[in-house]
């Protein structure tokens, strides 16, 4: 239970990989979740993306015995990030 954060669609261009940028982004996201009282953070990773899954596990993420399901709502307006 409680509030949860979700990191979805985290991609780095090839020339920025293996430099710690992804790790820094996830650490920043975790810090932001903590200050907002969010008690769990999830990352979405494609089943075939084993390198990304290995990084997430190294950073403390664990696989759940669940599968996320999504229903796209055509009548939902696009989310505009606040500044």
Comparison of pLDDT for 67 and 28, the residue scoring more? 28
Whole-model pTM above 0.75? no
What is the overall mean pLDDT for the chain? 86
Write out pLDDT tens, residues 44-72: 888 898 988 999 999 999 988 777 777 77
Using a 10 angstrom Cβ sphere, with 0-12 exposed, 13-18 middle and 19 or more buried, the burial of residue 56 is buried
What CA–CA distance (Å, rounded) separates 1 from 68?
A: 16
Backbone dihedral angles phi then psi of residue 32, each to the nearest 5 degrees: -65, -35
């Amino acid at each position: 239970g409680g509030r949860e954060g979700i990191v979805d669609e985290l991609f780095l261009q090839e020339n920025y990989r293996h430099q710690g940028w992804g790790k820094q982004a996830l650490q920043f996201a975790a810090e932001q979740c903590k200050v907002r009282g969010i008690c769990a953070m999830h990352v979405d990773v494609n089943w075939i993306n084993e390198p990304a899954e290995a990084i997430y596990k190294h950073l403390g993420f664990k696989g759940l015995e669940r599968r996320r399901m999504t229903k796209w709502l055509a009548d939902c307006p696009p989310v505009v990030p606040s500044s």
